[in-house]
């Protein structure tokens, strides 16, 4: 099947219309269980930017939300971005348009800082799998123990963002209330997929993913941090 070309738009969350918000939520409901529109709107309001994916006839097919992050760790300011809800319709899996727009936005934001990080929380293996595809180094991973400094940043973010739900020992956000989770059949993990060491590691680190728990991950946002094929695809040149 030929994948339909998608177009993207980066928009400030404050500029989203009620119609767009409703369309985003309808797309989310299609792939997630235990969603709540009031909670969705509350989480959306906390973000700074939204990246929208459209078909040529202007049908919404995906989105992600982005929040700029700043917190203090041992008297040092840590800067980065946090990814919120992210959806790409299953018919469009394989499209790189969302990632290209995300890279355009976050690398521009990061250009104002010496060190700038991507805080990615992952409740599904497809999200976690982006890290080894795009980055030379990211944490946590199956190949290396997370260095003390990077672990302190992960812990600092976890406590900053989820002070009552982040577990310092596991690095997982274990939600206390009802939390949205992927529908069965959307990103199920088979024995074949578990032969991928990255996926097997994700399941081992976040066994509660099936209930909607999120593994907190970290990658430094700098062009040199990207794998060369990813840098050419996302940034060009």
**Contact indicator for 219, 82 with CB cutoff of 8 Å:** no
**Contact indicator for 173, 213 with CB cutoff of 8 Å:** yes
Residue of 122, 81, 121 whose CA lies nearest to 102: 81
CA distances for 217 relative to 18, 81, 158, angstroms: 32, 12, 10
What percentage of the chain carries pLDDT values higher than 70?
A: 93
The pTM (predicted TM-score) of the whole model is 0.89
Distance CA 143, CA 133 (A): 14
Distance CA 210, CA 123 (A): 8
Query: Quick one: CATH architecture of 7-232?
Result: 3-Layer(aba) Sandwich (3.40)
Say whether pLDDT at 2 is over 50. Answer: no
Stretch 7-17: mean pLDDT, rounded? 96
CA distances for 158 relative to 29, 183, 218, angstroms: 26, 25, 11
Stretch 6-10: mean pLDDT, rounded? 94
Most confident of the ranges 85-89, 92-96, 129-133, 174-178: 129-133
Higher pLDDT: 127 or 173? It is: 173
Cis peptide before 140 (omega within 30 of 0): yes
Residue of 57, 63, 64 whose CA lies nearest to 5: 57
Q: Parse the chain into domains and list their residue ranges.
A: 7-232
Q: What is the pLDDT of residues 21-55, one digit of tens each?
A: 999 999 988 888 888 899 899 999 999 999 999 99
Say whether pLDDT at 186 is over 60. Answer: no
User: Half-sphere exposure of 99 toward its Cβ, with a 13 Å CA cutoff?
Assistant: 19
């Amino acid at each position: 099947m030929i994948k339909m070309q998608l177009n993207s738009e980066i928009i400030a969350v404050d500029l989203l219309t009620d119609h767009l918000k409703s369309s985003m939520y309808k797309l989310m409901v299609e792939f997630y269980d235990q969603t709540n529109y009031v909670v969705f709107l509350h989480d959306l309001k906390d973000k700074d930017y939204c990246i929208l994916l459209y078909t040529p006839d202007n049908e919404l097919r995906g989105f992600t939300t982005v929040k700029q992050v700043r917190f203090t760790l041992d008297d040092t300011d840590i800067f980065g971005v946090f990814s919120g809800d992210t959806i790409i319709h299953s018919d469009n899996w394989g499209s790189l348009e969302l990632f290209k727009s995300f890279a355009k936005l976050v690398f521009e934001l990061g250009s104002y800082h010496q060190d700038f990080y991507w805080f990615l929380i992952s409740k599904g293996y497809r999200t976690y799998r982006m890290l080894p595809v795009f980055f030379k180094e990211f944490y946590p991973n199956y190949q290396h123990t997370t260095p003390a400094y990077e672990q302190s940043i992960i812990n600092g973010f976890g406590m900053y963002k989820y002070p009552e739900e982040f577990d310092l020992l596991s690095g997982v956000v274990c939600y206390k209330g009802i939390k949205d989770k992927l529908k069965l059949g959307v990103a199920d993990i088979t024995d074949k997929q578990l032969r991928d060491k990255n996926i097997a590691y994700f399941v081992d680190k976040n066994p509660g993913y099936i209930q909607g728990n999120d593994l907190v991950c970290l990658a430094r946002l700098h062009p040199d941090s990207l794998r060369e094929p990813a840098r050419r695809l996302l940034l060009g040149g």
